[in-house]
Amino acid sequence: MKFIDEAQIEVHAGNGGDGAASFRREKFIPRGGPDGGDGGRGGSIFAIADCNINTLIDYRYARIHRAKNGENGQGADCYGRGAVDIELRMPVGTVITDAETGEPLADLQTHQQKTLIARGGKGGIGNLHFKSSTNRAPRQFTRGEEGENFKLKLELKVLADVGLLGMPNAGKSTLIRSVSAAKPKVADYPFTTLHPNLGVVRANMNRSFVIADIPGLIEGASEGAGLGHQFLRHLTRTRLLLHLLDVAPMHEGADPVKDARAIIAELRKYDESLYEKTRWLILNKMDLVPEALREKTAKDIVRRLRWKGPVFCLSAISGQGCPALVQSIMQYLESLGPTTPVTEEPENLAAPLT
């Protein structure tokens, strides 16, 4: 199953049924009077958040969703039947906007959250309701209202407390494997991560947070280089960003400081609010640096970057330094308030891209 995080659909709510203009006709009952019933309401369309769904792939191929119309009213005081509502189940974290106006309509952030996205039309009124002492044979009735129609844009933004930033092969997937039960693909070539991965990190039995790993960024991502900016939307809900740097790059001449500046520049091009989020610097793969040079290497990188925030030196593959990082993150998140509620601990909340 492909991981699809955006789609465009059309929703058409049902029209209301027409009211009836009818008169009672029975033997031995002259002038029976009006008995036209009301029309039924058209079906509405709802969006429901479901934590068991993790991709918008169903809406990539099923683009038009149409509810049925209400039935027309009939004689003998018979009202038309209302149409059944349609419920569209979407992943938690889906943002629904009007594709034509850009107006946000819904943000599904909790499991089973239900939102009306297209209202069905009201049924028309039959002539039964128009009778009076002066109008004993009314022929008036009203038509049913039209249902709402929208073209909608769906965007999935995963819910996580902490997001990982970095160049390809900086060690983001290795870190999330080290601190959580998630098992994203890890290999010695760039862009092994092709879709977001979520992991639940447990600081102890009763304290945990959710961490998100996205595909690596490279310089020029705003112009489409690499995988572009398309996955940065998944970091917009996070409260803390971890900027991973590979202090021992495989390629000679590679400069971790230059890479870090390129990532920061791309972040700012994408979204100023994302650029302003709190970021911690994580110097990864310190086990590949000679022990005598580790402190000097770290200080040199911090000085050249003019980094003012927290800095952590660790080795994601061996786990060295990871427990201290986890505890520091937990303390920081608790200082901000409740973290993302954890209902389960899956290996990977995002479906693989095939």
Contact indicator for 318, 284 with CB cutoff of 8 Å = no
* Residue with more model confidence, 226 or 209: 209
Interatomic CA distance for residues 4 and 350, integer angstroms: 10
β-bridge mates for residue 116, sequence order: 46
Confidence (pTM): 0.71
Instruction: Give the per-residue pLDDT at 31.
Output: 75
Q: What's the CA gap between 82 and 147, in Å, rounded? A: 13
Report d(CA 247, CA 249) in Å as an integer.
6
Q: Tell me what the mean pLDDT of segment 18-23 comes to.
A: 91
Dihedral sign of CA atoms 316, 318, 323, 325 in order: negative
CA-to-CA distance for 187 and 98, rounded, in angstroms? Answer: 40
Structure tokens at 310: 């927290």
DSSP, residue by residue, 270-339 = H-HHHHTS-EEEEEE-GGGS-GGGHHHHHHHHHHHHT--S-EEE-BTTTTBTHHHHHHHHHHHHHHH---
pLDDT at 235: 78
* Overall average pLDDT of the 57-65 stretch: 88
> φ and ψ at 29, to 5 degrees?
-125, 85
Question: Which range (46-55, 312-321, 334-343) has the least confidence?
Answer: 334-343
Which distant-in-sequence residues (6+ apart) come within 8 Å of 111 by Cβ?
Answer: 49, 50, 51, 92, 343
Q: Identify any residues that bridge with 279 across adjacent strands, giving them in sequence order.
A: 241
Q: Which domains does the chain have, with CATH numbers?
A: 6-156 (2.70.210.12), 162-336 (3.40.50.300)
Question: How confident is residue 195, by pLDDT bands cut at 50, 70 and 90?
Answer: low
Reply yes or no on whether the pLDDT at 112 is more than 70: yes
DSSP state of 21: -
Angstrom distance (rounded) from CA 214 to CA 196: 4
Rounded Cα gap, residues 316 and 34, in angstroms = 80
Candidates 160, 199, 196; CA nearest to 316 is 199
Q: Does the pLDDT value for residue 303 go beyond 60?
A: yes
Locus of tokens 């009778």: 131
284-296 pLDDT, tens digit each = 889 888 888 888 9
Total residue count of the chain as it appears in this document: 354
Max Cα–Cα distance, the chain, nearest Å: 111
Average pLDDT of the segment spanning 213-217:
68
Q: What is the pLDDT of residue 208?
A: 83
Q: How large is the average pLDDT for residues 339-354?
A: 39
Sign of the Cα torsion 319, 320, 326, 327 reads positive
Give the per-residue pLDDT at 230: 60
Query: How many helices and strands (H and E) does the chain possess?
Result: 6, 14
Task: Please list the alpha-helical segments (H only) found in 120-241.
Answer: 172-179
CA dihedral 11→13→15→16, nearest 10 degrees, is 180
Instruction: Report the 10 Å Cβ neighbour count for 268.
Output: 13
Q: Among the ranges 35-44, 158-167, 213-222, 230-239, which has the highest mean pLDDT value? A: 35-44
Rounded to whole angstroms, the Cα distance separating 183 from 199 reads 9
